[in-house]
Structure 1
């Protein structure tokens, strides 16, 4: 049972849903798919934008995404399952399971060192243009060549050094230890165990029409180029998986404390324990899981980068909260979007603690909504019983949130926010029944955003006496 107030989480998710729809359009992302799991419930499973922009096919929660390095969490889970069975040990060396490495520099690398990215192994080989689809991804024979060709880049246990090749080798270890092909093992012992219908360890051509198209970045062109899906071959344990946001949060929930469908709590805590600080970031890495503290909340998970798809998942095993955001562009801001859900939950939780739990908040909803004028869009949001003025265009809309206090049934006062804003000033509402018609405040009069959007679509220009409204 989570200690988070359910109403606070529900408020955060309600706003997150609206904000994601806005951000997808505002940031010109082809498509965004997102899901939130709390305690034992799926609170959100939505999609925004397009699965195929050229064909005009709308994205749905059922479209499949390549979740790339999320695959490492499945691989690490499989390794810990085999250690629980006594088949495999974390201090086993590679040559114990892959005798073809005997005499090679990587022969003495341990399973644990690979899981924690401390083995010093090359990231993708000396020729990694398969990531640009210039070549095919390495098959097992090619993987063996990469592992035997100057793959020892830095000494083991010197620092965190991310390696897709290291996790690809773990796939071979799992196959050798289990007696099953890697893909067969993870299907039987993880995917089928949890009943995840839209998850698999590698691209499935039979479901080709179900995948969201991937797209290139806008950093080097004015338009996005479609990127085909390909098989990642022997690198599937590092980057091959596909899934949906809904399936991913269901999978993440199996890593909550107390859930023993995949692993014991002891093994989950071993995965979640910090092995290394990740240089250049505020984060750490465990065994197949990243660790981060967001607003005082310790969360775990992984990101994924596949040609055309950028994805991110976080989960809090104590408060039983998980969020996954999948985007179908190589510059998709999946991490930024997923972090926002956590920040919104934190803000709603703080509002719930600061507000009288027995008070009636029903009347506060009439003030909420998304409003705009020539200068900005702004959201009046109810989180945990507290009204806030947030900027939906901000990468972090919760940064320096402006609290709003009720003066009367038509007026709010700003009691927070940044110093350059309008602290202490009022927002005066004009209602028609319970429908907001306009808000007069420091930056002029704002209107429901649909009205301003409609005016922008029809106005040729803004001029004196001809405002955007």
Structure 2
């Protein structure tokens, strides 16, 4: 696909932001030494300020590239080696299973830690100075899903460990290190680590709520999660950051180290480097990011010195209010590539089914209770299995709704509710509705046999 004009990108962003109920968007297109920025909407959906190129958004997992960058800086200072076990730098992990993972395996998501393990503590939003240290103590108690170096599996836990390595080796709190050694030297003056109090010029997060989005006033992350998703940045500043990654120069990191970050980390990780996803056959380096109420997408073509960043203060919904087409579609318009497909009706139908499920369950419970007299008339003709089968079915459905379905997306029900409160609420209500139906059905069956 040919690159679109800046006017076409702006038109696309405005149209799709409205379709996805996203209050505000900022983006930047890098083309060599040229940077074009654009924006749309408000920092809040209730009359906030207009979004600008200086507006700070949480960039979610794009923050992992900053953590990887910090690790590479420490390597260049001779403070660590990528192929040494992480317990070399975190002695408290010496006897833990996670201690055998190498720094490179953590950087490239080949450590053996799973996506579910990495997302299990996303709702820990504590902010005291020991939060990251406690997170590492917790990780020392878990058994990785696979052996190190066996498979690729994206896991936030990898970057929680890496951020603690930065903290220990630099003798500086992780967030302070990123600000003083990366953001400030690059002149990213509108950017910082999340400080849990949104400034008047910041974009406010908005989480999906059925067919719209509602402002989220809680904390989207804690200090223990800064290494995986703790950076807030403006579109203009992110353009500076991406330009630095592609400039081929020795500055706050050598050109060789930057290039290494954007190459396959190993044969087990052909599509991920060190803090970046890569598509070598398409010449692309990219990463998406999500915090509760925020979505972001960064992409680069380093050989062409072209890049694109888009930031949105609306979290993606399920079926309705999805932001994927907005983010990835804008990137395709900016840099070319395979056309992005608009979400189809199946996800919408699935969401509507989940909306209706609690109502169907309660209707079934009401019908069973209403028919109890006619069922009683059948007396002992009611099979004994009519008593316990509904309860067994309820347990099975609860497992599917509260464990299996969230797990298929790599999260638990708490994390699913944290990012998509409408979907999480519906899954919980559905499980409760099925439990009520089963209880009523079983009680009626038991009553009929009395």
Give the shorter-chain TM-score range: 0.5 to 0.7
Deviations 1:184-205 (A, max 9, x none): 2222221111100111122253
Which secondary structure does the structure 1 equivalent of 2:5 belong to? helix
1:222 shift after superposition: 3.5
8 Å contact 1:312–1:324 — kept in the other structure?
yes
1:127 shift after superposition: 8.0
1:261 shift after superposition: 2.0
1:108 shift after superposition: 1.4
8 Å contact 2:29–2:334 — kept in the other structure?
no
Alignment of 1:128-143 (within 5 A): 128=120, 130-131=122-123, 136=126, 139-143=131-135
Partner of 2:387: none
* Bigger RCO (CA 8 Å, 6+ sep): 2
1:242 shift after superposition: 0.6
Q: Tell me how far apart the structure 2 counterparts of residues 278 and 306 of structure 1 sit (CA, whole Å).
A: 28
8 Å contact 1:190–1:262 — kept in the other structure?
yes
Alignment of 1:139-218 (within 5 A): 139-203=131-195, 205=197, 208-218=199-209
Equivalenced residues, count = 334
- Cα distance change, pair 31–121 in 1 and its aligned pair in 2 (3 A): same
Q: Tell me how far apart the structure 2 counterparts of residues 119 and 306 of structure 1 sit (CA, whole Å).
A: 23
1:322 aligns with 2:307: yes
Which secondary structure does the structure 1 equivalent of 2:308 belong to? strand
Partner of 2:64: 72
Deviations 1:1-27 (A, max 9, x none): xxxxxxx86x52232122212222233
- Cα distance change, pair 80–52 in 1 and its aligned pair in 2 (3 A): same
8 Å contact 2:207–2:314 — kept in the other structure?
yes
Q: Mind listing any 5+ residue stretches in structure 1 that lack a counterpart? A: 1-7, 350-389, 397-469
Partner of 1:251: 241
One of 252, 277, 282 as aligned partner of 1:290: 277
More helix by share: 2
Partner of 2:253: 263
Partner of 2:333: 344
Q: Tell me how far apart the structure 2 counterparts of residues 69 and 127 of structure 1 sit (CA, whole Å).
A: 12
8 Å contact 1:36–1:246 — kept in the other structure?
no
Q: Tell me how far apart the structure 2 counterparts of residues 344 and 204 of structure 1 sit (CA, whole Å).
A: 34
Q: Tell me how far apart the structure 2 counterparts of residues 98 and 278 of structure 1 sit (CA, whole Å).
A: 25
8 Å contact 1:312–1:334 — kept in the other structure?
no
Partner of 1:37: 30
Q: Tell me how far apart the structure 1 counterparts of residues 342 and 11 of structure 2 sit (CA, whole Å).
A: 15
8 Å contact 2:132–2:160 — kept in the other structure?
no
- Cα distance change, pair 276–211 in 1 and its aligned pair in 2 (3 A): farther
1:114 shift after superposition: 0.3
Which secondary structure does the structure 1 equivalent of 2:54 belong to? coil
Q: Mind listing any 5+ residue stretches in structure 2 that lack a counterpart? A: 344-450
8 Å contact 2:32–2:305 — kept in the other structure?
yes
Q: Tell me how far apart the structure 1 counterparts of residues 247 and 331 of structure 2 sit (CA, whole Å).
A: 19
Q: Tell me how far apart the structure 2 counterparts of residues 346 and 31 of structure 1 sit (CA, whole Å).
A: 22
CA RMSD of aligned residues (A): 2.9
1:308 aligns with 2:293: yes
Which secondary structure does the structure 2 equivalent of 1:275 belong to? coil
